[in-house]
Amino acid sequence: MSAIHPNDPKATRDSDARLAYTVHPGTGPYLLLVHGFLSSSAQWMLNLEPLSAVCTPVTAELWGHGQSPAPVDVAAYAPDVYVEQFERIRQDLGIATWFVCGYSIGASLTMRYALDYPAHVAGQIFTNSSSALADIEQIQVWQKSAEPGARAIESGGLDAINKIAVHPRRAYRLPKTVYTALVEDAADLSPIGVANTLRATTPYASNRTRIDDNQVATLFCFGERERRFRDLGEWATEHMPNIEVARMAAGHGVNMEAADTFNQRVSEFIARHNTAAQP
């Protein structure tokens, strides 16, 4: 990776850029964990050790987030490109199948991966994700606001990123250790990465019209305290095949706010479907 912007060291023109990922200690099948917008792999810090008893966690970071580079080419941020990046990680690991888990916009991407590569997915887990389930009205809103929002980020840099409503600094319900780590990581967010995410990922992330095609065992960790997501969550429970729902007393930050419950349900799910995962 070669940085090409003095105020954005993660920016790169590398046409073969790769998402950063980390394989953590664990026993059992691999589990890909993908965080949300303006977040980082630090969001899984309360989950890695408990889950390691049943799987080998692999955390990946979105473009311009955490340790991942920020391609200047906006085409790199398309959901289908993310799917191919996940597939390259699987190939790097040399495995036939694995589990995948996504949070928020990360869930829209892991869900798309499971739809595109069901033969490689032993089971999927996802949390509250408006982007994964958005209807056409919401998609049109995002498409209309994408370019103005992206330009504001590019011109305003980190100051503009800090003003985004879903910035971790406003996630007051999170455990203090996780909150602190996410706020620290947010200080290294790439303006180009965030801007291009607004342009090319969020407006095209919805899997709503494809959800009937789901072929893999699915665990939906539903944070019922997030009011704005409630209707979408109920829609998913009614329309998605092969789904089981774990309702949790949490808001958007399901795996952090209800970490013990999340860890238990995900561990049970992986243990039950482990025979589908092959090296």
pLDDT digits (tens, 9 = 90+) for 57-72: 999 999 999 999 999 9
Q: pLDDT-derived band of residue 4, with 50, 70 and 90 as boundaries?
A: low
Number of domains making up the chain:
1
Residue 38, sorted as left (phi over 0), alpha (psi -120 to 50) or beta, turns out to be left
Distances (CA, A) of 92 to 56, 86, 112, 113: 15, 10, 20, 16
Residue 279 pLDDT greater than 80, yes or no: no
Among 84, 124, 82, residue whose Cα is nearest residue 211: 124
In this structure, of 1-5, 73-77, 140-144, the range with the lowest mean pLDDT score is: 1-5
The answer to whether residue 242 is domain-embedded is: yes
The answer to whether residue 5 is domain-embedded is: no
pTM: 0.96
Among 115, 69, 108, 81, residue whose Cα is nearest residue 203: 108
Determine the Cα–Cα distance for residues 200 and 22; give it in Å rounded to an integer.
25
pLDDT in the model for residue 250:
97
CA angle 178, 182, 184 (to 5 degrees): 120
The answer to whether residue 95 is domain-embedded is: yes
The answer to whether residue 261 is domain-embedded is: yes
Q: What is the pLDDT of residues 243-254, one digit of tens each?
A: 999 999 999 999
Domain encompassing residue 102: 11-276
Residue 277 pLDDT greater than 90, yes or no: no
Average pLDDT rounded to a whole number, residues 35-39: 98
The answer to whether residue 56 is domain-embedded is: yes
CATH number at residue 227: 3.40.50.1820
Q: What is the pLDDT of residues 86-126, one digit of tens each?
A: 999 999 999 999 999 999 999 999 999 999 999 999 999 99
Distances (CA, A) of 134 to 21, 43, 112, 118, 202: 27, 23, 14, 22, 10
The answer to whether residue 4 is domain-embedded is: no
The answer to whether residue 168 is domain-embedded is: yes
Residue 241 pLDDT greater than 90, yes or no: yes
The answer to whether residue 119 is domain-embedded is: yes
